[in-house]
Structure 1
Amino acid sequence: MSAVADRIMKRVRGKGRGWVFTPKSFIDFGTRGSIDITLSRLANAGDIRRLYDYPRQHDKLGAPSPDPAYVAKALSTQSGDRLAPSGAAAANRLGLSTQVPARASYATTGRSRVRQAGGRSLTLKHSRAPVPDNAPDSVNAVVQALAHVGKDNIDSDKIRHFAARLDDRDMRRLAQARAEMPGWMGDVVLKIGAARNG
């Protein structure tokens, strides 16, 4: 095994099984071309899997598919795009909908695309709503759920529902993101804040 391969595998093992990564995760080890070749050789040897991940192992089932959230995070790191749960997934997670999306889906600031990883399909759809930078998942979930539910379907019950799921720090971050939002969404954020304080 080459020195670059050793360094890559040391980092991979350090992150643990289940970690999903891209060549950009190792760019500090050499040129992009040398990293690509080394990752390809490690995948061919069975040390890692393509997209790329260091698969978890199950005694009876073998290596399960990678966690879609880790795949999405790796893709966003590679592209520099910001990600959030899709509107439908966020609405489900926040208890606004009982529908569970059939495929893993994320809102992205980048272009829409579908990726295959470990036998799973992952959909990245360009978001019409903002994806606030460095915001916790809870804040991005509220923003995407608001966009999914839509302006005409926000009532006082939904406002109270959102308010109950945010702590003070999340509310501050959501209020800071108002400048990135459409006007109606910013107005709803003010109502959510008033519901938390009321």
Structure 2
Amino acid sequence: MERLVVEKEIAKALKKNKKGSILFVDDFLGYGNPESIKKALLRLKQKGLLVRLAHGIYLFPKIDKELGLLFPSTEDIAKAIARRDRARIVPTGVHALNKLGLSSQVPMKVVYLTDAAARSVKVGKRTISFKKASPKNLLAQGEISSLVIQALKTIGQKKLDNDTLKRIHLILENEKEENIVDDAKLAPAWIKKILTQSIK
């Protein structure tokens, strides 16, 4: 009887969420103990009210008439995990290059620096990895300048060509000057030089 009450209460609570919301076991802790919540969420998944994205991560599905079930992006899932863990995250590697338009490659494994615990989450064929980093690597204020720092680290000083450098300077025109100035202080010397040159 108790498990049915938990399931019913969670089903009722779901309706208060926006379609397409990413949800966790932690979001329903007020309705019972963690084990009974996990079981209730699995039953709601079996009934089609939820879609299981990964272990302990669910989607309150949004259905498009033409496209069908709309899945969240890898980034949406990573941001939802960061919100739950009250953690900061910074995209790195090919993912940072892709976000800036410097690479058309869409990585199946995306890596974020974080101040929370290191972990990997498998979502279908995609993997989201959170890599524990020192606070300095997470202090950048500007979204664009932060991505540029990570993109340049991925490219490497010796492999950076003039064409990519010009594109980076153009991209940085969309960042606030004060963010570039502050974030340059956190970057390695060669990247700091590129950032400061962009505001001259």
Q: Is TM (by shorter chain) over 0.5? A: yes
2:138 is aligned with what amino acid? V
2:94 paired with 1:92: no
How many pairs does the alignment contain? 185
- Matched residue, 1:151: 157
Relative distance call for 1:188 and 1:120 in structure 2 (3 A) is: same
2:40 is aligned with what amino acid? R
Listed as ranges, the gaps of 5+ residues in structure 1 are: none
SS at match of 1:52: strand
Residues 111-149 of structure 1: CA deviation (Å, up to 9, x unaligned):
5533123x242222527782345543x333212111111
Listed as ranges, the gaps of 5+ residues in structure 2 are: none
Relative distance call for 1:89 and 1:144 in structure 2 (3 A) is: same
Q: CA deviation at 1:82?
A: 2.2
TM-score, with normalisation over the residues of structure 1? 0.71
- Matched residue, 2:84: 78
2:13 paired with 1:8: yes
- Matched residue, 2:178: 172
Matches within 5 A, 1:3-152: 4-5=9-10, 8-12=13-17, 16-25=18-27, 30=30, 34=33, 37-38=36-37, 40-46=39-45, 47-50=49-52, 51-59=57-65, 63-98=69-104, 100-109=105-114, 110-117=116-123, 119-126=124-131, 130-132=137-139, 135-136=142-143, 138-152=144-158
Residues 80-101 of structure 1: CA deviation (Å, up to 9, x unaligned):
3322333212223434334x13
SS at match of 1:66: coil
Root-mean-square deviation (Å)? 3.3
Q: Is the 8 A contact 1:55 1:66 kept in 2?
A: no
Relative distance call for 1:9 and 1:93 in structure 2 (3 A) is: closer
Q: CA deviation at 1:56?
A: 2.1
Distance in 1 (CA, whole Å) between partners of 2:68 and 2:161 is 48
More strand by share: 2
Of residues 57-66 and 46-55 in structure 1, the stretch that sits farther from structure 2 once superposed is 57-66
1:160 to 161, 166, 171: 166
Distance in 1 (CA, whole Å) between partners of 2:111 and 2:43 is 30
Q: CA deviation at 1:105?
A: 0.8
TM-score, with normalisation over the residues of structure 2? 0.71
Q: Is the 8 A contact 2:112 2:130 kept in 1?
A: yes
